[in-house]
Amino acid sequence: MIKFDTAMKIIKNEKTKIKSVRVELLNALGRFLISDIKSPIDSPPFKKAAMDGYAVNSSDNSESYEVLEIIGAGDVPSKIVTKGTCVKIMTGAMMPEGADKIIRVEYVIEKNNRAVPQREETKSNVIGRAENLKTGDIVLSARKLMPKDIGIIASLGMEAVEVSEQPVIGVITTGSELKDPGKKLNPGEIYNSNGLQLCAQIIASGCIPKYYGIVEDNKSKLSGTVSRAFSECDIVLLSGGVSKGDYDFVPDVLKENGLKILFHRVAIKPGKPVLFGRKDNMFAFGLPGNPVSAFVIFEIFVKTLLYQLAGLEYKPVLFHGRLKRDIQRSDTERTEFHPVYAYKEDVIPVKYHGSSHLNAMAMANGLIMIPGGVGKLKAGDYVDVRPV
């Protein structure tokens, strides 16, 4: 069994050729941007109004102003503002020549085509050309694209973007006791949650799932499915069969299909039996069958690999809060990821019976890491929460 930090270093040291593809913005959400985006334009591209009002020259202190024209967003001004004149202007519209200040509409009474200020305007209310962004400025660094990023890219006039190809991730669930949801359970059987759960995590990570279904505890059948998955996928995930039981065929089957095992068994809780290996440019994880273990190992290890293959470092957003109750544990050898509910400044440990207690995750919105060697976290301690 290796330490958690050692396992993370092994994953982060893996390299492979990064392929890229150009996609339209509507298809870019959740994809990995592989290089920085620089602005091809100034933003805004012209001096514009920050609010509705009357555009004047700031050196002109006339008691009233002749309204030369009305300018809406998208209009090009046709008049030049001189002493004693103004232009009525709408938010976002181009400023007319000669004007450098807007008296907000709330401060003005307009009568007989003249604007009469009722109080002093202390701000310019004008956004200068390139005030927000200059041509050549870095707008976005390489990252997983979120909805706000799509809007930012669109604002630059770009209709497509270069992203890494979506990895195809195969999912194989093992165990003769498993039945897919919707089927009747016989004595001794349970529903297969890992298959759909892992596929959902894959989709949420911007990748393509390929589900191979349930494979019973039969070494020959498992080997055939693994062989097919290895030829069709970039990453293969197997749940169950990675421990030391009589029917735990996964490690042997993976090795027999050419996988070089880089680690097997990590000091992590849940998920100690986890296995990771590589065959050429294809990777595989053997995940424990307990559903919380499978979920956590994906969040911790698989996501790290996905970002690594895209040339990025996985840095999950952390919420820093105060632990509401003590967490006591007897097994201090392993690094533990414990489900919690974070609310405002409080971090509340959820009722959790261990790695088979999947329903505990319904109450959790995050995980906290308890380092190896630590037996107790006290109420009032500040902890980092990894959102899930």
The mean of the pLDDT values for the chain is 95
Task: Please determine, for residue 222, whether its predicted confidence score (pLDDT) is greater than 70.
Answer: yes
Q: Dihedral of CA 230/211/206/13: which sign?
A: negative
Beta bridge partners of 287: 239
Q: Which domains does the chain have, with CATH numbers?
A: 4-16+165-309 (3.40.980.10), 20-40+143-164 (3.90.105.10), 48-127 (2.170.190.11), 319-387 (2.40.340.10)
The residue type found at 285 is F
CA distance 372 to 217: 34
CA distance 267 to 274: 10
| pLDDT value of residue 214 | 96
| pLDDT value of residue 352 | 84
Query: Which structure tokens are listed for 74?
Result: 């998208």
pTM: 0.87
Classify burial at 368, counting beta carbons within 10 Å of its beta carbon; exposed 0-12, middle 13-18, buried 19 or more: buried
Instruction: Give the mean pLDDT of 225-235.
Output: 98
Q: Dihedral of CA 143/148/152/157: which sign?
A: positive
List C-alpha distances in Å: 191 to 19, 187, 299. Answer: 37, 12, 22
Query: Which structure tokens are listed for 38?
Result: 């620089």
CA distance 311 to 88: 51
* Pairing, β 319-323 against β 382-387: antiparallel
Tokens 């602005």 sit on residue: 39
The residue type found at 229 is A
Closest CA to 153 of 280, 26, 306, 329: 26
Tokens 């069958």 sit on residue: 289
Are 55 and 94 in contact, with CB atoms under 8 Å apart? no
First and final C-alpha spacing in the chain: 26
Question: What pLDDT, in 10s, does the model give residues 124-175?
Answer: 999 999 999 999 999 999 999 999 999 999 999 999 999 999 999 999 999 9
Per-residue pLDDT band for 51 (boundaries 50, 70, 90) equals very high
| pLDDT value of residue 357 | 81
Instruction: Give the mean pLDDT of 283-311.
Output: 95
Are 155 and 132 in contact, with CB atoms under 8 Å apart? no
Q: Dihedral of CA 94/96/98/100: which sign?
A: negative
Per-residue pLDDT band for 120 (boundaries 50, 70, 90) equals very high
Task: Please determine, for residue 18, whether its predicted confidence score (pLDDT) is greater than 80.
Answer: no
- A 10 A CB-CB count for 382 gives 11
Q: If you count DSSP H runs as helices and E runs as strands, how many of each does the chain have, helices first?
A: 7, 30
List C-alpha distances in Å: 211 to 171, 207, 229, 297. Answer: 5, 13, 9, 18
Per-residue pLDDT band for 284 (boundaries 50, 70, 90) equals very high
Instruction: Give the mean pLDDT of 367-378.
Output: 95
Helix (H/G/I), strand (E/B), else coil: 322: strand
Cα dihedral 283/288/293/295 (nearest 10):
40
CA distance 249 to 240: 9
Residue percentage of the chain with pLDDT more than 70: 99
Question: What pLDDT, in 10s, does the model give residues 331-340?
Answer: 899 999 999 9
Query: Which structure tokens are listed for 282?
Result: 């294809």
Instruction: Give the mean pLDDT of 337-362.
Output: 89
Task: Please determine, for residue 247, whether its predicted confidence score (pLDDT) is greater than 70.
Answer: no
Are 356 and 25 in contact, with CB atoms under 8 Å apart? no
Question: What pLDDT, in 10s, does the model give residues 88-115?
Answer: 999 999 999 999 999 999 999 999 999 9
Task: Please determine, for residue 193, whether its predicted confidence score (pLDDT) is greater than 80.
Answer: yes
CA distance 318 to 142: 19
CA distance 388 to 296: 9
DSSP secondary structure of 6-37: HHHHHHHT---PPPEEEEEGGG-TT-EE-S-E
* Pairing, β 319-323 against β 20-24: unpaired
Question: What pLDDT, in 10s, does the model give residues 52-85?
Answer: 999 999 999 999 999 999 999 999 999 999 999 9
Phi, psi of 380 (to 5 degrees): 100, -20
Closest CA to 75 of 48, 53, 100, 93: 93
